Structures are given as C-alpha cells and as structure tokens.
Structure 1
Amino acid sequence: MTTSNWQYFLHLYYKTCQRCCFLPIFWDNTSHSVKFEKSRIRIFLWAMMQTYLTADTVYLTVTICTENYRGLTPVTTMKLLSHGISRIAACIVIGWFVNNFKSANHLINQVCKVHEKLKGEYYPGENNGVDDGLFYVTFGVITVHIQPIGPTLQHLEERHSVRYWGSRLLPGDLYDGKIGITLFALIELLLSYVAIFGSGYTAVQLIIYAQTTRNWLQLLCNKSHPKDIHRSRRMVSQNVSLYKILHVLNCLHTETCSAILWPITQHVLCAIHVLVNVVTIKCWHIYPRRSGSPYFSAYLHLPTLRPVASKRRQKFMKVRLV
C-alpha cells in the first residue's frame, strides 16, 4: 500500500504519541488504523501527565478569576489570559477524546480508508500523485513537534510570572535552584507537548474529514472525471455511490462531534473573542498612532455617531416634504 506525504507524517504523529505517551493511541501497521493503547504502563504515564496538566489548568483558572489586573501590565495580562485559555481549551478537548476515544478513532480510520479507496477507483495508477489538498496535515504535524519549544523558552525567561504556580507556592530556594530551574523547564516542555498533541489529534481529524469531503464533492459538482473514464451509466452509478458514501461519513462525523466537540469549539472561540477585546481595550494606550488608527478609532465610536446621523437625515427628509 503506497502512502502519500501527508499519510507518512500522520503515521509519524501517531508513533510520537505512542513512544512519548502523549496520547493513549498507537498506529497498527497490520490493519493500517489507529487503535487504543494496550500497554498499561503507557496508559498510566499518560494519565499522570494528564492529571498534572489538569492541576496546572485549575491553578490558571483560579488565577485568571481572582487576579487583581490593576497591578498587572497589559502585556502580562495578555500572556496570562492567552496561556490560561489555551490550556483550558486543550484540557477540554482531551477530555472529549477520553470520553469518545472509540468513536473518534473509528471516524479517522473510516475517513482515511474511504479516501484511499476512492482515489484507487477514480485515479487508478496515479494514487500517489493526486493532489488531495492535505498538505495542511504535513504542516500541522511538523508544527506540533516544534511549537512546544517556544513556551519552554518563555518559561525560562519569565519564571516568576503569575502564570506558573511554582513562583507562588514553592520556596524561592527550591524553585530558583539549579534543580528547580531544570525540573520545571522540563515539566513545562512536557505539558506543552501533552496539550498540543491532545488538541492536535482533534484538529487533524477535522482537517482530514473536511478536506477529503470537499475534494470529492468538488469532483461531483465540477463533473471533472479522469480521462480514462467515459461518461456512461457506469460513471453515473459510481457518482451516486460516491455521494452515498460521503453522506454516511457525514452522519458518522455528526454523531461523533456534534454532541460535545462543536459546543466546545464555540465556547473556545467565544473565549478567544473576549480575550481579543479585553487586550485591545487594555493595550489601546500603548498602540502606535499610525495613519490607520483614526479610522479604527472612528469605527469604535461608530455606535455613538449613528443617532446624530439619523437625526440629520430626519431633518433633511422634513425639509424635502415641506
């Protein structure tokens, strides 16, 4: 069975999850599918890391709700809110995976198998050269392997920030010692990997499902068939079969994600929207006054200008009526 570039990186993602215990899953080369981890030791190690991530997220949640923001700079406020919201979102998404790991794994397995089967039927002989638009998977897998280095370096630079519980709850001699600096840096690196791999698993599922469905629906809508397949009754029946397959996948996706995942996504987007507005208001005075800022300021005051404009329009209309 030949694999394209995105499949190679997807398999690499699953292998990293298994070797480092970032998620209790592994890639089975025999069945070419994702399965739940069978090793109790790996499951125990993942549960320990997830427990620590949850405890750290609880601390961040309490800090966000009780912190006196008047004593913080706008930059510190922005970092605290963004760091806390991202960790909260990762914990919620990982919790969704734990409660639905069977259906989640079944969904990604079915989507990949159906996609490969359809590529073999519609593009025989060129399965490996078909552009299915899944380069985002390759880019995403590379990103999740590199991104956690950034938060770790930021932790080393701002170890005494309110974002880290050790700076508040541990003695200075222990936290600022060589052992403490090394240990907490490794823990922050580990937490970042667990969080991004856990949320990345859901993101990979959604991207693969959305892009593969879009790819095959576009083929049906544009009626762009391979050169060696003629417009015939066989082709019509093949397209009808393709549409039915996509419909079944859509039902499976809706059943898996609609109950919990979509509400989670909506709440996370709402939290990010609130974060952006809070940061914009608190940091407005430090923004550089450039040529575009008067227009943005006018946009912010637009609701207060509307009543005046409406009164002028009413006066103008009265004059015309007279």
Structure 2
Amino acid sequence: MEKYNVAVVGATGAVGREMLNILEERDFPFAELKLLATERSAGTILTVKGQEYEVEVTTPDSFQGIDIALFSAGSGASKQLAPEATKRGAVVVDNSSAFRMDPEVPLVVPEVNPETIAEHQGIIANPNCSTIQMVVALKPLYDQVGIKRIVASTYQAVSGTGKDAMDELIEQSKAYLADKEVEAEVYPHQIAFNCLPHIDIFFDNGYTKEEMKMVNETQKIMADNNIKVTATAVRVPVLIGHAESINVELGSALSVAEVKELLAAASGVEVVDNPAELLYPMQTQCEENDNVLVGRIRRDQTIDAGLDLWIVGNNLRKGAALNTIQIAEELISNRF
C-alpha cells in the first residue's frame, strides 16, 4: 500500500488529539507524521501507533515534503498557513471556517458530496460540526423527494469551544454544587446548569455566526440555494455531543416508515427510534459512536410534507476530526 507524509496542525488541541486517535484507529497509511502547533505547545510528546512524536512549531517550511496537511487550528492560522502548505505541494484539509464559503474550495461531507473533492485546488474545507450531522441525516431524504425548508434548533456541547470550555463546565459544576461562587471566563455567562442561546458573534440580522454557518453551508454542501434554512444554536452543559431538533418540509410527503427505511440504509446514519422502549438518541450514546444517530421521527401535523427528527452526533469526531480524515481517505482513493 502506498503511504503518505502527513502533517497535523493544532495537534495538541481537542480536535487535533482526536485526529491522532482516528489516524491510529483507522490505520491511516502515513509514512511520515509531523505534529505541529504553536510555540506554547512545542516540545509536547504525543504517541501514535506506539511511536512518540515531538510537537514542532508550525512554520511555512514545516510543510516541505508533506502530502496531506490536516488543519485543526483556528481560522487565522489556516488563512496564513494553508496557502503556504499548498505552495509546497501539500493538499490541505481544513477544519476551520476560513475557506468554507470560498467558491473555489470544496466543502465536503463524504457521505453527502464526495464527488466535489475532485474540484479542489489544494484546499478542501471541513464543514461546521452542527451542519455535518444535519446534512448526513437529511441527504437521503433530499435525494428521494427534495427539501424545501429546514428549521434547526441545536443543543451543542461545550467541547465545541475547546478544552478550556470543558474545564470551565466541570469547575463551575463543582462550585455550584458546593454552593460556592461560579466564575465565568470562557463564556459570557455561567454554563453549568444553564443554556446559552449564543454561539459565536451576533450579526446585524439577529442571528449568530454559528446559525448562519448552518444556513450557508447547508446550501453549499447540498448544491441547492433554494433550500430555505433557519437556525437557533444553543450551548448546553454537556461535555461531548451535539443534539439537534430538526423540522423539515420535504418536496413531497414520506411516511415515517419510508423515512426510517431510507435512513437505516444510509451510510453514517443509525436509527435509534423506539419510544415504546424509551429508545431515542442521547448525547451520552455518541461518545463512542461515529454514526449520526436519528430518532423521534414523526410527521409534522401542521403541513402536508413536514417531518420532525432528533439528531445526535459526536462533535469532536464526526463533527470535526473524523470527517477531516474521511476526506483525506477519499483523496487517497481518488489519488488526489
């Protein structure tokens, strides 16, 4: 089997570490593995496939001889360093928001639009975590009858913000239960035992950046600007796993049985839907599960072709690291 030189940028962050786990789990065919991060993390030792690697400071020359660069750094770093990587011959798969809406950059979910990978010009974008799990669940329905409108309400874990947010939730919970003062630093308000209808910055239209990502990215991934999308994104006191309540107006009506059949046959989807046995997707179920879990499937009784679904996914894995590596695997299959 041919092997490739791979770099992971942001290797010490929550998503970067998950990328390393998945590279090992899936036996990704790398020859050389280079772990990159900021000066603060340089010198950290991480182990992959039983071998220790020292994290290096990311510079433009870090990408010399690299075939595939997996970016899990912020958008600022991606904008600065991804073009440097491509200049040196690497194909970049970027997990930040830096290039998602660039018309020259494919925005890819392998279960949904893998064919667009072939259009890349050196950079491929990984979508937002909440968008990924939604489109994986909706694509089989879209292919069958089309989609007119989506109303999404998200319940997103603090790991979407990073390790500091996870630590803050744990420390706030301890303080609250001990009847001590709760301090908020990562979020503008207490997150322990609370929900914040605020993810990322607010725009003039009243929506947050996170909500508009779901609108714009869904249309680009589905290659259909006629799909109307509206979203409310909420941060909840959960460590790992995003949940979504999705109301969708289909192009024509499907029965619940037909929907379940379509979803059960779809790649990357697992139907968990038996209310009589109290079976439905929960965030605690997704930590060790890479599938998008779908349940509470029911007809919306207010419109003819309406449907309600409850969708849960692991935001660190399928919502970020796993999807990035699946894109890289598709690249290899297509020989770049």
TM exceeds 0.5?
no
Relative to total residues, which structure has the larger strand share, 1 or 2? 2
TM-score norm. by structure 1 comes to: 0.29
TM-score norm. by structure 2 comes to: 0.28
Higher relative contact order (CA 8 A, sep 6+): 1
Bigger Rg, structure 1 or 2: 1
